[in-house]
Each structure stands twice: as C-alpha cells, then as structure tokens.
A and B are shown apart, each in its own frame.
Chain A
Amino acid sequence: MPETVRDRVIQIIADQALLDVSDISMDQTLEDLGIDSLGLVESIFAIEETFDIQVPFNANDPKASAFDISSVASIVEAVQKLVADQAK
C-alpha cells in the first residue's frame, strides 16, 4: 500500500528534525521541533522533490505565503492541497 501524503510529509519533517516519526505530533510547530529557517527551506525543497510540486514560499514573509507553515497539520494540509491541485 502506498504511503499517504501525510505520512510522507511527516517523514520529511522528522528527518529534518532528526526525530522519529512517532515523536512528531500534528499540533507541533516547526519551532517546537527545533527546525529553524534553513531547516524550513530544506524541508520545502524535500517536499517539492518528493511530490514534484512547486511550493509558494518566500522566506522574507512566510505569513504572506499561501503555504501555511504554522504547524505540522497545516503543512500536511497545504501539501495535500497542492498535490490534489496538480492532479486536476
């Protein structure tokens, strides 16, 4: 059975945070996980490579980006939407 988008995003975040997938919970923020601005840019790169999508994100103003990075859940949701949009 193929992994879900959710599983794969959590795996990427866990890899970046040097944590086990089981240690990641959906309500955590990247800050909670110790992922800094460079770690974030690297995670987004990994997401783009994994799903072959373009993530709209500008490090100068993360809040203004359409891509919501406020928690693990919001990132998963945003990636699911991008993947779904691409399939259309």
Chain B
Amino acid sequence: MKRVVITGAGTINALGHDVAATLEAMREGRCGIGPLKIRDVERLSIQIGGQVHGYDPETHFNRQQISLYDRFTQFTLLAAKEAITQSGLHFEGELASQSGVVLGTAGGGVNTWDENYRTVYEEGKNRVHPFVVPKLMNNAAASHVSMEWNLKGPSFTVATACASSNHAMGQAFHMIRSGMTTAMVTGGSESMLCFGGVKAWEGLRVMSKDACRPFSANRNGMVQGEGAAVFVFEDYDHAKARGAELLAEVIGFAMTSDAADIVMPSKQGAARAISGAIKDAGLNRDAIGYINAHGTGTAANDKTECAAVADVFGHHADKLMISSTKSMHGHLIGGTGAVELLACIMALRDGVVAPTIGYEEADPECALDVVPNVAREARVEAALSNAFAFGGLNAVLALRRV
C-alpha cells in the first residue's frame, strides 16, 4: 500500500479567497456569516449565510468562460488553481494520463437552475441559453478542472449531500493508496445561496435565523455557506522524490450508512464511521488529538455526534479537542468537508486548533472540549474530519502530521 500525502491546497469561501486568508480567519475566530445579498432575499424567512463577498467573476474569467461556468464551477477552478500551483505538479505524459479529479457537490449548478427557471416560469420566456445543461450538471466542475489542468485519469463527481467532499476525497485517497494513480485533484464545492436554494432549506425548518452555534445549548439550527476547497493528494514516495512540501498525510478513511432515516442522524452509523477511519489508519483511538466535527448547529446532529464520539473514544473523549468551523464559514453542504479539511491541516501542521465560535452556553448533551470561541495552540499528531449526510451516509477521514 502506498502512503498518501497532501501537497497542495486551495480554497475560496466566506472566510477568505485563498488558504492563507481562510486559516487566518479561523485562527482569529472570525465569523464569515452575515446578511445574504441575493435577489428576492426579502421573500426569504432565512436571510443570513456564509456568502463569498468581494468576488467578481470577471476578474478571473472571460465572458465565454462565464457563460459555461456556474458559480460552483468558478469556485472550484479558483481553488484548484491555488492547490495545483502550490503542489508544483505539471500534468504531462504518464502522470497526466493517470491523474484525475474527484470532487464532491450536492447541488451542482443550483444558481443556473434557479436563474433559468425564473426565465421560463417567472418571465414566461420560451427560450434559455444554449449552455444551461453543461453549466448546471454536477460534474461540470470536475470536467473543467480536468480540461484546465490536463488530468486524463479517473474523474467524476460524488453527490452524498453533506458528506460529498469527504466521500470524494476518500475515493482519491483509495486510488493513490492502492497504486492505481500517483496524484489526484480532489475536494468539493457548493453554491446554493440563491433564492431557490435557500427557500428549499427553509422548508425543513432546521435553519437558524441568527447564527450557527454548534454544541451550544442555545443553538437553533444550521446556516448555509458557499465556496470550494481543492487539494492535491499524491503518492508519498513521488512527492518526497521531487522535494514537494508535505502539508499532511491522509492515513485512513471509512464510510458507513445508517440505513435508518432520511434526515435524522444515527449515533451508531456515525460511531462506526469514526471507529472505522481510526482502524483503517492503523491508530489507537488515543492517538487522535483533534476532530473537525460535522457540527451543523442543529439540535439533532450535535448531540448525536457528541454521543458517537463519546462511545468511540471512551475516556479519551474528554482529552481530545473537537470543533466545528461551520460556526465561521457556514455549512457548505457538498463542499463542506473540503473546507473543513483545512482546519485539520492547520491543527497538524501549524499546531493551531480552530475554535467553535458562537459558543454561549454549555449543553450537557455536548459535554466535550469544543474549543469554544478562541483558537488554541496544541501539538496534534493525528486528526479526524467527520461528515454525516442526510440520508444517513457517513464519511470520516483520518490525517497525520508529517
């Protein structure tokens, strides 16, 4: 089995337009959630989100590209550029023919659906732009990354709601670990902060109107975010031989299905994924110093997740740190695991654990060290990143310091 390392990272999200800005915001416990600036926001009952601000597509893409790139694709391409540039890899010859891109997204081109439904239903027009389909399809982002960077190996998109990115990165990890490929571009993206995208979530009545406060007793729901994070996963020997900078090592991955309920999480399903990832990594549970929680800020998720962690870790649950960075960047749905992996890398590499901000009141059902409100310096040898999706699909990654 090959060892797998991360040699490049890129992102754009509500906290920053690149990795450095995002990690700085996480260190400072800054909140990227604020009033939504979208069309018809006054008709929404939920009017906040972790929106990417100060972003003008025309500074990055030409008119022809914009006609093909939905916002989720634009975010993906920007994050991929940062990650691949950092990795220093040039995809040519054999490396290009083996390497691919596996990305997660739950909704794909939601803005494109939204805008074009308006055109035909609201405005009553009978014609839409010819590129609607290639713009909105869930694999558009993965395909454009492959075209932009000459990635000719296995490429596809994974859609498992809120676990999409973790499932995607798990596939990339497996492909390199098994020796099938040398390098993979992987991560995820989401952009559904538009009228229809927020309206759909409103319907479930699990959204907060004021803030995302994971693990806090007064939490009242999740807040949506948007953006992307993309990584270069690479065979350790290959990366080492070319003198690449190693950000972290991916050492384990596990997936489980609750097989129980379409929205309510299950403690057993989550616990099996967490313990499975630790086992796959060949670690003792005591080795885990930090968990980036799924931590959505809903009543159901947070207490179930804490119970699962307590079950898996026993006494060690009281010693490890677990934080939810969704409190800062919001829930990026299919892209969330990718942005959250950045917090794991920061913990392992920089020794800084991102906080759970908005934490106001202890909840006996979430009695773990949630790193409340202020980032913490700590040496972390191994970390987990949890993702538990609607539909009961769970995916947990394990990483190690290199």
Interface of A toward B, CB cutoff 8 Å:
37-38, 41, 44-45, 54, 57-61, 64
- Decide: B203 and A45 in contact? CB cutoff 8 A: yes
Q: How far is the CA of A61 from the CA of B361 in the complex (A)?
A: 15
Q: Which residues of B contact A54 (CB under 8 A)?
A: 45
Question: What does DSSP make chain B's interface, helix, strand, loop or mixed?
Answer: loop
B266-313 at interface with A (beta carbon < 8 Å): 298-300
Q: A37-B263, A37-B264 given as contacts; is B203 within 8 A of A59 (CB)?
A: no
B221 with A58: CB separation less than 8 A: yes
Asked if A61 contacts B205 (CB within 8 A), the reply is no
By the criterion CB–CB under 8 Å, are B221 and A60 in contact? yes
Asked whether A58 lies within 8 Å of B262 as measured between CB atoms, the reply is: no
Nearest A residue (CB) for B264 = A37
Chain B interface category by residue count: 10 to 19
Instruction: Say whether B367 faces chain A, with CB atoms less than 8 Å apart.
Output: no
Residue of A nearest to B45 (CB): A54
B204 interface hit (Cβ, 8 Å): yes
- Give 8 CB contacts A-B under 8 Å: A45-B203, A58-B206, A59-B206, A59-B298, A60-B206, A60-B219, A60-B220, A61-B299
Could you list 6 further interchain pairs (A-B, Cβ under 8 angstroms) beyond the known A54-B45, A59-B204, A64-B220? A37-B263, A38-B262, A45-B203, A58-B206, A59-B298, A60-B208
On whether the beta carbons of B205 and A57 are closer than 8 Å, the reply is yes
User: Which of A38, A44, A57 is close to B263, meaning CB atoms less than 8 Å apart?
Assistant: A38
Instruction: Please provide the chain B residues from 166 to 210 with a CB less than 8 Å away from any CB of chain A in the complex.
Output: 203-206, 208
How far in angstroms is the closest Cβ of chain A from B363? 12
Interface members, chain B 41-91 (any A CB < 8 Å): 45
**CB-contacts of B322-356 with A (<8 A):** none
Ordered nearest first, which 7 A-B pairs have the shortest CB separation? A60-B299, A59-B205, A60-B221, A60-B220, A59-B206, A60-B298, A41-B205
